[in-house]
Each structure stands twice: as structure tokens, then as C-alpha cells.
Structure 1
Amino acid sequence: MTTDTLLAAGRTALDSVFTVESLLDDTEREWQQRARRIAQDVIAPVIEEDFENRHFRDELIPAIAAEGLLGMHISGYGCAGASATSYGAVCLELEAADSGWRTFVSVQGSLAMSAIAKFGSGEQKNEWLPRMATGEVIGCFALTEPDGGSDPAAMKTRAVRDGDDWVITGSKRWIGLASIAGVAVVWAQTEDGVRGFLVPTSTPGFAAAPITGKLAMRASIQCDIVLDGVRIPDSNRLPDARGLRGPFSCLNEARYGIVWGAMGAARTCLEVALGRALDRTVFGKPIGGYQLTQAKLADMLLEYEKGVLLAVHLGRQKDAGTLDVNQISVGKLNNVREAIAIAGAARSVLGGDGVTSEFPVMRHMANLEAVRTYEGTDEIHSLVLGRALTGLAAFG
């Protein structure tokens, strides 16, 4: 069987036991199907080539924007105002194709656009959000620095007031989309604490260089940024962003999407393993007929189903306005960790073929290791939950 045929066979087998669609209402299902069409018809045919060639295919952006997926959870300014559960279902379908494309939608919508929508002035929202929703302008979110992404309170990038302007100096690392972005949301220390600034990337002193040598997220862009005396007017400051509450609230939007997205990568790995288990014959019968293989498949299904149910539960809470941020850490920590375990088990079912690009499993596994690191490592989310349980902070 071809890989597409294996996926189809695995999808049929999986749907006979558990399907995400049954958990969604009609509107949520419509959004899911939009994203699934993009993932299967637009992204999937080229993703292996792009991963191999370390190429971000930005010509796909208009198709994604045309489906309303950019900033879809934001209301107004050309955005759809979709529910959190709808957005989550979209993230799942995009990451089923590749984590890099869910990351693109996340950086654009959950980070850059959310920062403007939450903390920007009316003028800033009108200037940027409609064009970002159509994909005309790409945004990036410049928070992480070279000396420690897990400790943003220690950021070294500084913004100094100079008359009616601000002058920003510093560096950022692992900033998604920065080299193709038209606007960067830059977080910097000031005399009044951390503040956010909108920096057009054409501003003198701003430079972004893609990070090379990546073994994960090869079909997407992450960059080093240098801000060398970047001068912007005070009108580019996000007026309602004060302290780390601003960037953290945006990060929580992105982490929420990861809770769903990781299960998309897990689903693809499970579908491929199921298809292969039914197709490959060893010792006279399909490998799916052996007890050890069935045990692997059952364990994979168990963790996938639990992860999706957790994602839906968090989505329902988010839509109701009752979601505790600690629960986002539960979702991110559990679902990424279990998605990696599912990918590893799928690779073992595929045998030696599992390490080739003929199958998407190793690509998903590598990408998930990156997802495990960004938006809070396993260790950071464990400490978040430990603090919630004990009332004692153990970060230092």
C-alpha cells in the first residue's frame, strides 16, 4: 500500500472506535473540516519535500487565510470570532499534517494578533489586524532571548524613552516567522517594567536571520533577531500591556492550541501504524494479528483518546470563561508527552521503514520534540502544577 492508502485504512479503523467529530457541534465540525481540507489537500502533498529541503512554503498562506483561520478566535477587524473549541479543532487538523503549519497559525493568531487585540489601541487594531487576518501582513512575537526562554523576567532587551520615541536594543531567539514578518511584537524591559512594542520589520536596526541546522520544524521558520538601536514612536507601544501578564496571556493562547495540535500529530502516527498493522504480513499473517502489536495499538488509542477528551474539556471551559491557566499546563504537559510516546510506538510498529521519509512518523516525532520545548518545557509546566498544588514556587 502507498502511504496515503495506509493512512486512509488506518483512519477508517480508528474512526470505528473513536472519532473527534462526534464530540463537536455543527459549527465546530465545519471549522474542523475546513482545516482538514487544507491539511490534506494543500499541505500534505508537499510537506515531506518541504521538510527535507528545509523550506517554508509561504505561497500556501493565502489558502489558509481564505478559510478564515488566521486570528479566527478574535472578534471583529476581519476575524471570525470563532469559539475556542473550533480553534482547537483547527489546530488538531493542521498539526495532523505538520506541526510547523499549526505553529504558523499559532504565531500569527494566538501570539502576534492576540497581543494587538488584547493590548493594542484602537488605531493599532485597525491598522494591523485586518491585514494580518488576510495574510497580507505576517506577524511575529519576540519574547524569548538567547540566555533563557524559561525566564522572561530576566530579559535583557531594553527600551529607553527618548523624547516622543522609544529606542530598543537587544536580541531575541527562536522567534517564529520573523524573517518574513511585516510587524514584530517586541517585549522589552523599561523603567516601568516589561512593555510591548509594535516594530515594523523595515525599521532601521531590526534584523532577523533564520536559524539553520534544525532537525525539527524544518518546514517552518524560526529566527534570531537583533535590535540595534531600533527607534519607534510612542504610538507603537501597546498601551494596555504592562508587565509579564501581557506576554503570558498570549502564551496561554498558544499553549491551548498546542493541547489540541499535539493530538493531531499523534492521530496521524496512530493511523499510519494501524494501516501498516493491517497491511504488513509476517509469519503468515498481518502483524496486527499478533498480541504485542495489538497491545501497542491499544495503548496508543488509549492515550490519544484521553488527550482529545482533555482538549475538548479545556475547550468547553475556555468557551465558558472558566478555564484555569493551571489546566492549560496540564493539557500541554500531558498531550505533548503522550503524543511523543504514540509516535515512538508507531515507529516500532513500522519497523525499520518507520525511520524513513516514506512515512511521516519520524517527522512528527522530531517536530514534537520542538513543541515539547517551546511555550513552556515539561519542567516548567511541572513546576507550574507543583506551585498550584503546594502554594510554593520552586522555579529558582
Structure 2
Amino acid sequence: MSATPSSPLPPFDAGDPLGLDDLLTDEDRAVRDTVRRWAADRVLPHIAGWYERGELPGIRDLARELGSLGALGMSLTGYGCAGASAVQYGLACLELEAADSGIRSLVSVQGSLAMYAIHRFGSEEQKQRWLPRMASGEVIGCFGLTEPDHGSDPAGMRTHARRDGSDWVLNGRKMWITNGSVAGVAVVWAATDDGVRGFVVPTDTPGFAAPEIHHKWSLRASVTSELVLDDVRLPADAALPEVRGLRGPLSCLSHARYGIVWGSMGAARASFEAALEYARTREQFGKPIGGFQLTQAKLADMAVELHKGILLAYHLGRRMDAGRLRPEQVSFGKLNNVREAIEICRTSRTILGANGISLEYPVMRHATNLESVLTYEGTVEMHQLVLGKALTGLDAFR
């Protein structure tokens, strides 16, 4: 039944100005609220100190807790995975990144890259061996694709695998690998005589090392490593049997980028909420700065882009749940939402003035984290070219 003209309108909600909660099911909201409570309890009280010190202490405990929430490999089915909808996984990413991008990256790399690769392309034996323990957080995974000299062009990778009898022998380097030094298993992509192949590598294999990368000014509360493979010998069944070529790693990246579409809006929301509260309470010239037109214009513009971005993420999530989400549409979402999230953080910083650079507020931390999110799993330029090719039918990558 449609509403009559005399029906009272619901009150305006500054936290949900478009009424997007109406699009969610009760189960969607329950998932979102559970993750939000966990982040508020386990991350927010400590994250400023972790970021300042450049560490993520207790990562294995955090992984187990996230596993108990069903947040690892959340949208995968079977093998101890939650089998949640794409929208529910997206909402979880939003809440995790509202706490910190490093926490969302931990979950995204574990579930959308390492676990997804094994779930989609692995043998039944590989799935049974690794996925239940990864879903519970007992085993942390990482994903080795990017190399020191090959980021946007993975086809040029130098890491290679050669046959030696029935074994594989891997040599090479991977760079900027989240979870690398704490992982128990790595999914490593290497060039072979038969094209690019994926390998499931236990990290205690001789010849494998993962030195941690320090001196970062972004994603400081995240474990980032190099992977070093020196004559790493693996049995024949370490190779992922169901894929050859770059289609494998690129499909994993598309799945992970989807989480970024949501997660970036979490960082934006946290920054916007900090700016809004500050504008309501900070007084200059005899009244709260939120009462000045220029500040209200900034808040209005930020709110428009924030909630448009969440609506875009929701739309892409429903397409994924329906099996209709194309990689180009994921590029659309990542390109738009991360760019707008960074702008929201920067504008929020101007409202907070000098206080905006302090870790007492989350704004500068989110802004610097998003500088990494902007370029990992596809730079701005790569996503522009993906969309440009889709729009024109002309390949401009080379």
C-alpha cells in the first residue's frame, strides 16, 4: 500500500540521510552491527597507538576473533566459511575500514585473495587442507602477485616455476604483500612454460622467507612484507589445478576490489562523522563553526558523496549476489569510491583545522591509509583504462 499524503514522514537521519538502511534485511543489519561492535571493542581503543608505533600486535588473536565472527572467507561457501551474501561481506568491510584500513586489508587478503584462490581454483585436497583453518583464523594467508618491478603489468612477472622431475621449483620475489611475515600459507603466482600458474606454498618450506617492510607512512597498523623464494621445492600437487594464465590472479583481484568499494566508504564515514561532531561543538567568532555557510557547504558535499558511494557499493553487491557483476563495474566502484573517500578525508581535515593532524582524531590516519588503497589492487590509471576500453572498445593499455 502506498503512503497517503497525510502519512507522517520519518525524521531526517543525519547518519543515513538517504534512508539506505531501508534497503537492508534484518540479517544484513545484524552482520553489520556485529562487526561494528567488535571493531569498537577490539580496534578503536588501540588503533591510534598501533598506527603511531607502526605495528599490529596480537594479529593472530585478532585473526581468530575475526574467524569466530565468520568474517574470514565470509562470502565463500563450505569448508567452515560463513556463506554470507556479497552485501553482508561488503557491510563488514565498511565497518572494518571505518576502524582502520589495515584491519580490512587483513580480512580482505585472507578471504578475497588467498582463500578465494584456493576455493575457486584449488583441488579438493587443497581446499580441505587449508580453508577450514583459514576460515577459523588458525592459519593466516597471503597472496603473492606484485613484484618489485612489476605491479600494474603482472604479465611481466619474473618469478618463475620450473619442473624438476615431478616437483616444482620456484624462484623470485614478491613485494608489498599484506600478512606476508605472519602467514602460514602463501598463494604465489609464477610464470611457467605453460603460462602463469598459482601455487599453494606453506611458508615453512625451505627457501621461503618473508622479511617485513618497515618505514611506511601508510597502512602502518598492517603487516606488509616481501616474499623471497630461493629454490622453493614443492610437490606437483601444490599447483592450483583449475586455472592457467592471468585470468586466475585477476579474478581474485576483482573479488578483493569489491571489498574496497565498501571499505573505502568506511574510512570516509569515520572521517565525516569526526568532522560533523567537531563542527557542532567547536566555537569560533561566538558560535559553532557548523553554523557558518562555508562549513555547511563542505559537510553537505561530503555527505552527498559518502552516501552516493555507499549506494553504489550496495548496487554492486546486489549485482554480485545475482551473479551479474562484471569486472568493469568493480573498477567503476573502486575508482569512484576511493577517490571520493580521500577527498572526504582531506575536507574533513580542513574542518578540524590543526586538530585534524592529531591521532586524537581518525582523519589523518584514514587519509594516509587511503593513499595506499588508492593504488593497490589497481591504480587509478588502470581502472580508468579498464573503463575506457569498455566504453570505446579500444585497448589503450599499451
TM-score normalized by the length of structure 1: 0.96
Aligned twin of 2:85: 83
For 2:80, the aligned partner's letter is G
Aligned twin of 1:357: 359
Structure 1 unmatched runs, 5+: 1-11
Aligned twin of 1:25: 25
> What is the CA distance between 1:16 and its match in structure 2?
5.8
For 1:14, the aligned partner's letter is A
Q: Is the 8 A contact 1:194 1:243 kept in 2?
A: yes
CA distance in 2, matches of 1:320, 1:341: 31
For 2:259, the aligned partner's letter is G
Aligned twin of 1:6: none
CA distance in 1, matches of 2:20, 2:213: 36
The superposition leaves residues 224-246 of structure 1 with CA deviations (integer Å, 9 ceiling, x where unpaired) of 11100100001111000210111
SS state at 1:326 partner: helix
Aligned twin of 1:50: 50
- For residue 129 of structure 1, the aligned residue among 128, 131, 142 is 131
Query: 1:62-141 residue pairs with structure 2 within 5 A?
Result: 62-141=64-143
More RCO (CA 8 Å, sep 6+): 1
CA distance in 2, matches of 1:245, 1:161: 22
Q: Is the 8 A contact 1:166 1:232 kept in 2?
A: yes
For 1:21, the aligned partner's letter is D
CA distance in 2, matches of 1:302, 1:261: 17
Q: Which protein has the bigger helix share? A: 1
Q: Is the 8 A contact 2:188 2:198 kept in 1?
A: yes
Q: Is the 8 A contact 2:207 2:229 kept in 1?
A: yes
CA distance in 1, matches of 2:16, 2:396: 45
Query: 1:138-153 residue pairs with structure 2 within 5 A?
Result: 138-153=140-155
For 1:151, the aligned partner's letter is D
Aligned twin of 1:235: 237
CA distance in 2, matches of 1:259, 1:127: 31
Q: Is the 8 A contact 1:13 1:274 kept in 2?
A: no
Q: Is the 8 A contact 2:144 2:186 kept in 1?
A: yes
The superposition leaves residues 343-363 of structure 1 with CA deviations (integer Å, 9 ceiling, x where unpaired) of 000000001110111111000
Aligned twin of 1:14: 14
TM-score normalized by the length of structure 2: 0.95
CA distance in 2, matches of 1:14, 1:207: 49
CA distance in 2, matches of 1:283, 1:353: 18
Q: Is the 8 A contact 1:279 1:286 kept in 2?
A: yes
SS state at 2:174 partner: strand
SS state at 1:227 partner: strand
For 2:82, the aligned partner's letter is A
CA distance in 2, matches of 1:168, 1:120: 18
SS state at 1:15 partner: coil
> What is the CA distance between 1:20 and its match in structure 2?
4.7
Query: 1:1-396 residue pairs with structure 2 within 5 A?
Result: 14-15=14-15, 17-18=17-18, 20-57=20-57, 58=59, 59-396=61-398
SS state at 2:44 partner: helix
Q: Is the 8 A contact 1:343 1:365 kept in 2?
A: yes
CA distance in 1, matches of 2:219, 2:199: 27
Q: Is the 8 A contact 2:63 2:138 kept in 1?
A: no
Q: Is the 8 A contact 1:174 1:223 kept in 2?
A: yes
The superposition leaves residues 99-157 of structure 1 with CA deviations (integer Å, 9 ceiling, x where unpaired) of 00000000000000000000000010000000000111110000000002100011000
For 2:372, the aligned partner's letter is A
> What is the CA distance between 1:22 and its match in structure 2?
2.9
CA distance in 2, matches of 1:314, 1:18: 17
CA distance in 2, matches of 1:229, 1:16: 54
Calculate percent identity across the aligned residue pairs: 60
> What is the CA distance between 1:267 and its match in structure 2?
0.3
CA distance in 2, matches of 1:158, 1:136: 29
